[in-house]
Each structure stands twice: as structure tokens, then as C-alpha cells.
Amino acid sequence: MALKTYESEFKIVRDDSKCIACQVCVRQCANNAHIYDAEDEKVYADDSKCVNCHRCVSMCPTKALHIEHTPLQFMGTANWTSSAIRNVIKQADTGGVVLTAMGCDKKYPNYWDRILLNASQVTNPSIDPLREPMELKTIIGKKPDKLEFENKGGKVSLKTHLTPQLELSTPIMFSAMSYGSISLNAHKSLARAAFEYGIYWNTGEGGLHKDLKKYKDRTIVQVASGRFGVNSEYLNTSAAVEIKIGQGAKPGIGGHLPGEKVPEEISVTRMIPAGTDALSPAPHHDIYSIEDLKQLVYAIKEATRYTKPVFVKIAAVHNVSSIASGVVRAGADAVVIDGLLGGTGAAPAVMRDNVGIPIELAIAVVDARFRDEGIRNQASIIAAGGFRNSADVIKAIALGADAVYLGTAALVALGCHVCQKCYTGKCNWGIATQDPYLTKRLNPNIGSGRLMNLLRGWSIEIKEMLGGMGINAIESLRGNREHLRGIDLHDKERELLGIKAAGETW
Amino acid sequence: MKRIYISEEYCIGCRLCEIHCLVAHTKSKKILKAFKDEIPKDATAAVLVEEEGHLSFALQCRHCSDAPCIEACMTGAMYRDKKTGAVLHDEDKCVGCWMCIMVCPFGVTAADPATHKITSKCDLCAGQDSPACVANCPNEALVYEDRENES
Amino acid sequence: MFRFEKKANPFYEKDVSGCAVSAIMNTKGRRFSSEGIVKSIANQRDRSNGLGGGFAAYGIYPQFAELYALHIMYQNQASAHKTEQYLDDYFQVEHKEVIPHRHDTVISHHPFLRRYFVKPYPVGEKTPDRIFERLSEDELVIKNVMRINTGFDGAFVFSCGKNMGVFKGVGYPEDLAVFFKLEEYSAYIWIAHGRFPTNSAVWWGGAHPFSLLDWAVVHNGEISSYGINKRFLENFGYNCTLFTDTEVIAYIFDLLVRRHDLSFEMASKVMAPPFWDEIEKMPDEEKELYTTLRATYGGALLNGPFSVIAGFKNGIIALNDRVKLRPLVAARKDDFAYVASEEAAIRIVQSELDRVWSPAGGEPVIVMLEEPAAVPTAP
């Protein structure tokens, strides 16, 4: 046997004075990191199997467990970090790609943390959202340049009618995560929370499970390069259709759901044979150019009889503003931009950590470009990728986004501890897995309630911040960069973000 | 009456219900002290997780409205609490005939091998707002509700 | 005292101000002197601090009623020279003069002030080498005004309507009235403003009213939505150049009423719309109307506290923000209409009133000329 020359990343620390050998940890760890020895009547640990997901820690009734990053580190250098060394060794061992999941794990500048919000003092009263109206309602879709009215016997009525729109009670939606990459219970939680809170959830590219059709009016169905589960009925069981071109975590590459993760239910939903690999090609093979995209946009509009807005999702790459402009001109009702920090169920680490640009800059340049071209009203901008809290959301809106998509934050609300092992299919929290023993750990009754709590909490905070700025409707903040100031930013970055420096006055 | 209902689709087989049931029926009710000093090694809880493959559920006395164990008990040790409707067991009156075990359609009463009397009979954790198994179920696979009086 | 340097600033500028506003209008189009409006605005002296004041007057140039009256302030002779050359390329300048003013008032320092009565050349005439084509006269005036105000250092067009004019500067409004010899004019609508800016960016162009074509806007308040109102307007070719939030109101009126043909009522429902809760309770057709209005024109919603009076050739409209965070009082007496920040500012002009009321937040007060044709166009 070849010598394994790198050690475990984590160390399981068990406090023997507290361990009652109840074996809850043993039963809860899908990675078999805890082993019960019946003879010794003791639980032992295999550190090498631990992924630091904290399931055992959370479940241990006596709080006897603790996970540490192993103190044993490679000598290394500032350049040759332990993870750099470990990855080289792993690849030398296997000849494979280093796989990972979730969002970018490199410390690039975070612009949200370098943008400050404004508040009213004296000259402009702040507004108390607990006592006065504070409106977060957001309407997504193409808007006309101008409205026309007609006067019928003194009664004014609309001559211009809006094309189909989505109405959100708060400017937040759940982003695309496919059935396959996450469990049906996760989908149920998202769908139910979206339905009850008055927002939208997104099926991702894996089709729509039959049990979720009842949430149709709050469902965005996705059409990606693999076209899984796509047929006329699917497109019409929705509030909107989203064409996925790219994903922030892995712009430019497709996806691969291995056959062992395609059991009966997923096979039916995705409309592929059970046990076969579900391959999403890197590009759509019928979209090699912007005019091809236009054809698909209109093919979908035809198939849905122009009753649904069509979104196009692209990853934030260097040329994002021109691409987004092309997307709008191709007929999209909303353009979704997924930033550098966007998550995934599986991606090569090199892609996740090195490709794309931050969502903050992408929102700013796309919004500015649309306004320069006079097409800002023709499509909504939906931002995705790494939103951690309501402040990130409100800053995105002030930069110019209409709404944001939450992926990771929603999963964390469902229990995810961001261990980044989604691709193993052994998610101990019952989210990124299809193992029936694990999926039932996510009870959609609890999950949807937690998601609604999150939406409620963030919405209250957004209202507080808006009221502080003396604004009582979210549309008055959208694209209103006057309320943002930059700190610790270069002039060029501020120019791109379109914001002044902290300390600069109106 | 308020009963414990089971949602087997959410039972994750962690057996925290069993652990907390045992603790709730000790004198100290403190988990570490209970497991170190009070609970015998081979003790069985009044709730038992039945498991096969990925399917599991936690079962305890159903407190049947037509309880065969009360019918079968010759000493009146098994009785119904007039106030709560729960089926309870008086250990002082029990003579260890195990008739209740034989007639129980759910197999949720068990004998204590040491005393030969009936032990670990679910008492709905009398006096508590919520039985320990329900209170400590991390996934709401057990709920304590009064569904009979629902419209 | 007057600052012209910051034109190319890529960022937005606005000032934060509390203020006094007042307007008097004769609904029969009868012209009257400036005495009342000066008295009214002077009575609200506490609401301003001497850092800006101004007036708009409608019907003052009957002899040039068909010509655009451009009021321009210049930082120096060079900027005047350059701008006048440009005007000559695009406009037939029928008459040009210094805006009459006194030299012995408390106003001790001011820009060069000139006015031009002009008519745009038809397409192709005079200047074949031009950049704007197929525009109406109004559009051509706007384009050129925007061009001068963004591209010509030291020059600002602060009034460009027909048969109306704006007179404004740094000082108390009643002092500026003396400076500008307002007693020599008679108008059927007078609008006045006294400014209380709370930052130091004080300059002549920043005083109210703000005017575009025959719109003149005075405003008390702070537009918290300014950043998006400005960017929304840029989408439609308006460049906000005057370093204050008030000009967006003038441009929004121009966009909605003149270009998009919305009624004044509808335009005020864009600027101060009903709350979603109220819309929810409306009958279906109305619900769709207001939902569509808010969805389409969300960028034109004026958020933050304001009371605003806008004048145009056929009347005035006064509007509060939708939660009424700033004062506004309206009154009628015979064929006179009054609006002001305070009732006292109306009573001092006309103590006997037929009706006085305080309009609710978001409810516009719209006063139109009874007979628009009655406006005298010639002396």
C-alpha cells in the first residue's frame, strides 16, 4: 500500500468525562468518523473521515464533542500553505481534479464590507418602520418606456399593459439549486417558504418534482444546457422561466451528476434513465451566439404563450456588462448575474476560486451600462452570489439590483454548515444528498419555517435601514448610489462602483 | 386527549428520544449524572426506535382509549388516569404476571429483568408540558398534540 | 459666491435644504404686480437664511411671447462670448440684453446676467453641420440648454421658457426682488422661494426656482431618492447639472407631462404614489393602473420630505410627499389661488379668504387657468 503522506485536516476531540457512549454521533455520521466498540463500550474517532460538518457536535446530548483544525500543519511558506501542499499531494496520488463545493474560498477583496450606508439626521426625518408604512414590494420584469392612457367618458384607464411580471413581497428570491444537487426535502422547504412568504424559488436545472407542482405560481423553472425535465408542461408549471447560461462558481463549465445519484425519483423528474450520469454540457449546444440565445428566449415565450417572464442567468465575467446588454436585447425580461462568490454543489476548486468577478462590481457596471444605453427599464437585474446578510442585500439594491437570489444563505438556514463536501453526496444535514437515510433529516415543516424566519429577519432589517435613510419605498433606493460611500477602495474601484468616498458630502 | 404522534418520514434514527426518556425517569434528571450513576446498563427506555434500513420510527405506549392491558391486569396496577386519560402503571401493585406484555398490540411494555415487574412504561412524563422524547426530538418526528378535539 | 467649476463631476451632487415656498396665481390670467409675492415670501424670512432666493413670473414678456426667453448667468466675459457664439449657431436671437438689476442694493457680488429672446433655426438652415436633427423646437431648446450647462464652463442657463422668466440668486428673496427690479414686471403667476441650505455649496445657479422650458419649480425638502431620480432621468436624456435635488422635479414634470403626456394628477401619483396597501384594496382596474404606474415609473417616485410648487404656462401644481413631512397650505379668494409653506404667508397678502386648507400627503393641488387663451400675448 502506498504511503499516505498527508494527515487529516480535522481532529475530533471527545471529552471522555462527558461521553455517555449513547452512539448518537455514530448513527449521525455518514462518513463513519465515529466508531463504537462494543467490547470497550466506548466510541472512538477516525479523524481522517471527518469533514467538520458539526452534525455530531450539534446532536451530541452531552456536548462531549468538539472538532478542531488539526494542529499538525505542514512547515509551508506564506505561498505554500497547507492546503496548497495537500492538494498537490492528493493530485500526485490520484491524477484527478481537486473537487470542491459551495463558493469561492480565496480571500479576494469583499466590496460589501467596504461600502457604508447613509442615514438621515436633522434635515430629513428618518422613518420608523414599526409605525409607518415601509414598502419592500418589488416587481420583476420588462417595463415599458412610457405609459399611455385613454380617457373613456372622463374615466382614465390604461392603454399600455405590462408584460408578465413577478411580484415579490421582499426583494429576495431563492436561487437555482437542482433536485439532484439537493434533496427533495430541501426543494420542499424552499418552495413552501417562497409560496408562503410571497417570493419565488427556482428549480435549478433538474426538473420539477411532481409533489411541487402545487407551488407553480411561486416557481421559477430553469432551462440549462442539459435540458433535464424540460417539456411544455414543465415550462408552463411556473411563474417564470430561467435560461441558465453560466454559474458564478464555475463560469464556463457544465455539470456532472454521477449515475449513483440518479435514483428512481430523480430519474423521473429529470426524464433520464435511472442510474445514468446526468451531464450538463459547458455551453448550450444550440446557443453558440447571442442570436441563438434570442431564438431560445422566444421559443420559450412561444411555448408559454407570452404568459411568463423569461430570465437569463449569466456568470459575472470580465465582459459582463456587454454580455448583459446583449441578453436584454435578446429579449430577456430579467438578467441574473451570478458573482465570483456564487455557490455550487460540485466544481473543480481551480474554477471556483479563480474565475469571474465580484458581484458588487458586476451589478454596478451592468446597471450603469443599461442606463447609458437607455435600456434599464427593459429588464430587471437580479444579483446572486454570496449574500450573507441584509446589509449585503440592501447595498446590492442601492448599486442597482432589483432583487437578489439567495443560495448558500438559504441552505445555511436549512442546516448547512458550509463544509463544502456537497459533491460527496453524504451531506449529514440532509441537504446535498439523495440517501434516504440522510434526506429525512431535513423536515420541510421545520425547514420552510426557518427560511421564512430568515426572510422575515432580513426584511425587518432592510426596513430599518431604509427608514434610517428617510426612504419608505424600496424603489427609491434601487440604483440610488448616493446612499453608499466607499471605504478602503481605490479610485478606479469607486469609479466602477459609482460611489463616493466616505467623508465626501452630497 | 393530548397524544404523542409519530411522523416516521422524519425519524432520523438518532435515538435521542430513548436517551432523554431514560434521563427523564431518573431521580436527578441530569443526563451526565443519570448515565454515570443512575441508569442500569441494560435499562430500556419507554420509547423504542424501530429501525429497518433507512426506515425508522420511535414508538411508545399509545395510551389506547380501549386499552387491553388495563383489561388484562389482575391487580389493577395498570390503570387510566382519570384527569389526563393516560394509561399508567402502579409498580407497587404490579405482581409481574406480564399479562400486559402479552396483550399489548404494540409491544411497548417491557419487563425489568431484575425485579420481574413491568418497567419502562410510558407515563407521558407526567407533570411536564411535553414528554421528554417529544421535547428532545430534533426533527419533529414526534409531536405531542390533541388532535381528537380538533374540528 | 457663484461656482461653475464642477461640471464634469461624474458623481451626483445635491444640496440639503429647508425652505420657504409661496405662489400666487390669477386663474383668469390677469396680470398683477410682484408686491404680494414679495410680501408673502418676506413674511417667511425665518425659513430661509440668506443663502438663496428667487422668483418665477409667468406672462412677463408679452412682446416676445412666441420666443424662448433664455436667462443665462456667466462667470466671466469669456464664457459669455463663447456661449453667445454657440447660441448664434442654433438660434435666431431676436433680442439680447442685460437682465435689468440695481447696483446699489445689499447684493454686492453677482455673475453677469443676460437674457436672450430666441427662436431655434429650422433643421438645415444656417448650420448644416449640426448634431441634433429631427427635434421639435422644445426638444432642441432642452438639448442645447443641457449642452451649455454641462459643456460650457462658466455659463448657466437658468430659465428658458416662453413668456416667463426666473430671477434668482444668493441673498434673501426680498432683497433679490429689489435687485432684479421685480416691481417693473406684472405676471399672472408668481412663484417664490427662500432658501435655507445646510451645506456650504452656495451659488447663484443653485437657488430656486429651477426651470426648464416653461416649468419652474420651488421646493422645500430633501429628496432622499435623488440618486435614482437623477439616474432615471438620464435614461431619458436629462442631465442633472445644477448641483441640487430640486431640478429633478422640474425634469420629472417635463418628462411625464410634456413628453409622456400624463395628466397632472397622474404625474403627481407617480411622484407621490399611493401605498401598496392602499392599491391592494382598490377595484381591479384601478389596482392595475397604480401597480403599472409604480412599476414603470418607480425611478420617478420622490422619496423623503418635500413640499413643492411647480408652475407652467397654464397653472400651478403643489404637492407634498406622501406622508406629508413638510408644510403646505393652499387657499382661494375669488380668481386668486395661493399656496405657501405657512398660512401666515397667505394671510399677509389676502386676509379675507374663501377657503383655506392643508392638502393631505400625496394629494396634489392643481390650479389651471380658466381660459388659457385669455393670457395676454401682446401688450
In C, residues 207-226, which contact A (CB 8 Å cutoff)? 221-222, 224-226
Summarize pLDDT for A216-231 with one digit per residue, the tens. Answer: 999 999 999 999 999 9
- Among residues A256, A255, A278, which one has the least CA distance to residue A268? A278
Range of the domain at A53: 10-96
The cell numbers describing A502, all together, are 466616505
Q: Distance between CA A367 and CA A377 in Å, rounded?
A: 10
Instruction: Identify the CA nearest to C173 among candidates C353, C294, C45.
Output: C45
A42 vs B: CB within 8 A: no
Q: List the single residue in A with minimal CA-CA distance to C302.
A: A476
- Do residues A59 and A183 both lie within one domain? no
Please check whether residues B2 and B55 belong to one and the same domain: yes
Same domain for B115 and B70: yes
Residue A296 lies in a domain: yes
Say which of B7, B14, B141 has its CB closest to residue A59. Answer: B14
- Per-domain boundaries in chain C: 17-370
Listed range (A230-239, B19-28, C149-158) with the worst mean pLDDT: C149-158
Q: Which three cell numbers stand for residue A281?
A: 454540457
Say whether C19 is catalytic. yes
Pick among A121, A131, A146, A157 to test the C interface (most C CBs inside 10 A): A146
- The reply to whether B6 and B57 lie within a common domain is yes
The CATH number assigned to the domain holding B107 equals 3.30.70.20
Helices (H), A202-289: 232-236, 264-270
A271 and A400 within one domain? yes
Q: Is A306 on the interface with B (CB under 8 A)?
A: no
d(CA A209, CA A212): 6
**For residue A393, what are the CA distances in angstroms to A117, A398, A403, A458, A498?**
12, 9, 8, 9, 17
**The total number of structural domains that make up chain A:** 2
Contact state of A133 with C17 under an 8 Å Cβ cutoff: no
Same domain, B1 and B56: yes
Helix (H, G, I), strand (E, B) or coil at A303: helix
Of C311, C76, C315, C132, the closest CA to residue C217 belongs to C311
Cell output for A196? 408562503
> Of the given ranges (C154-163, C215-224, C274-283), which has the lowest mean pLDDT?
C215-224
Question: How close A447 comes to chain B (CA, Å)?
Answer: 10
Regarding chains B and A, contact by 3 or more CB pairs under 8 A is answered as yes
For residues C339 and C365, give the distance between their C-alpha atoms in angstroms, rounded to a whole number: 9
In whole angstroms, give the CA distance from residue A485 to residue B10. Answer: 48
Task: Average the pLDDT over each of B121-135, C92-106, C166-180, C340-354 and give the range with the smallest value.
Answer: B121-135
**Which chain B positions have a beta carbon within 8 Å of A61's beta carbon?**
16, 19-20, 31, 136
Say whether both A80 and A182 belong to one domain.
Answer: no
Q: Write the CA distances from A296 to A224, A242, A272, A301, integer angstroms.
A: 11, 11, 22, 8
Asked if residue B74 and residue B42 are part of one domain, the reply reads no
Touch B-C: 3+ C-beta pairs under 8 A = no
C17-370, CATH topology level:
Glutamine Phosphoribosylpyrophosphate, subunit 1, domain 1 (3.60.20)
pLDDT of C199 > 60? The answer is no
Beta-bridged to residue C216, according to DSSP, are C211, C311
Report yes or no: A108 at the B interface, CB cutoff 8 Å. Answer: no
Contact C304, C221 (CB under 8 A): yes
Cell of A273: 434513465
Which residues on chain A are in Cβ contact (under 8 Å) with B52?
Answer: none
State whether B96 and B138 are in the same domain.
no
- How does DSSP assign B27-72, residue by residue? SS--HHHIIIIIS-TT---SEEEEEETTEEEEEE----TT-HHHHH
The verdict on C162 touching A (C-beta cutoff 8 Å) is no
Residues A85 and A177 in one domain: no
- Between chains, do B13 and A437 touch, taking CB under 8 Å as contact? yes
Are residues B112 and B90 part of one domain? yes
A481 chain-C contacts, CB cut-off 8 A = 12, 227
Q: Are B121 and B46 in contact (CB under 8 A)?
A: yes
Coil, helix or strand for A210?
Answer: helix
In one-letter notation, the amino acid at residue A60 is: C
* Averaged pLDDT, C181-197: 93
In a domain, A328, yes or no: yes
Does residue A313 sit in the same domain as residue A450? yes
Res B113: pLDDT: 75
Closest residue on chain C to A398 (Cα): C228
A73 lies in some domain:
yes
Domain contains A405: yes
C244 has a chain A CB within 8 A of its CB: no
**Helix, strand or coil, per DSSP, at residue C162:** strand
Active-site pick, C2, C4, C17, C19: C19
pLDDT of residue C128: 61
Q: Does C295 touch chain A (CB under 8 A)?
A: yes
Low-confidence ranges of chain B (pLDDT < 50): 151
3-state secondary structure of A406: strand
Identify the pLDDT of residue A5.
86
Q: How far is Cα A257 from Cα A425, in angstroms, rounded to an integer?
A: 10
Min CA distance, A209 vs chain B (Å)? 18
Q: Are residues B84 and B36 in the same domain?
A: no
| Nearest residue in B to A56, CA atom | B14
For the cut 70, the answer to whether the pLDDT of residue C240 exceeds it is yes
Chain A residues lying within 8 Å of B13, measured CB to CB? 27, 437
Between CA C71 and CA C116 the distance in angstroms is 7
Which CATH number covers residue A388?
3.20.20.70
Please tell me whether residues B50 and B74 are part of one structural domain: no
Chains that touch C (3 or more CB pairs under 8 A): A
Which residue stretches of A50-208 are H helix? Answer: 55-59, 82-94, 184-197
Q: What is the ipTM of this complex?
A: 0.92
For residue B9, which residues of chain A lie inside 8 Å, CB to CB? Answer: 440
- pLDDT higher at A443 or C5: A443
List pLDDT tens digits, range A263-275: 999 999 999 999 9
Is A213 inside a domain boundary?
A: yes
Number of domains in chain B: 2
Beta-carbon separation of C305 and A473 below 8 A: no
Strand duo B118-119 + A155-158: pairing: unpaired
Output the CA–CA distances (angstroms, integers) from residue B141 to A7, A180, A428, A443, C107, in the order listed. 39, 24, 17, 8, 82
C16 Cα to chain A: minimum distance (Å)? 7
Stretch among B56-70, C242-256, C271-285 having the lowest mean pLDDT? C242-256
Q: Which residues of C touch A148 (CB under 8 A)?
A: 261
Cross-chain Cβ contact B14/A446 below 8 Å: no
CA dist C372 and C213 (Å) reads 17
Measured at the CA of C258, the angle between CA C257 and CA C263, to 5 degrees, comes to: 30
- pLDDT tens-digit readout, A107-157: 999 999 999 999 999 888 899 999 999 999 999 999 999 999 988 888 888
Which residue did the predictor score with more confidence, A213 or C125? Answer: A213
Q: pLDDT (tens digit, 9 = 90+) per residue, C11-35?
A: 444 444 568 999 999 999 999 999 9
Flag whether residue C325 sits within 8 Å of chain A, measured between CB atoms: yes
- The answer to whether residue A102 sits within a structural domain is no
**Cβ–Cβ under 8 Å, residues A207 and A229:** yes
Please give the residue of chain C at the shortest CA–CA distance from A121. C16
Residues in chain C closer than 8 A to A465 (CB atoms)? none
Question: Which residue among A75, A96, A117 closes a domain?
Answer: A96
Domain housing B116? 65-121
Chains that touch B (3 or more CB pairs under 8 A): A
Do C211 and C13 contact (CB within 8 A), yes or no? no
The pLDDT confidence band at residue C320, using thresholds 50, 70 and 90, is very high
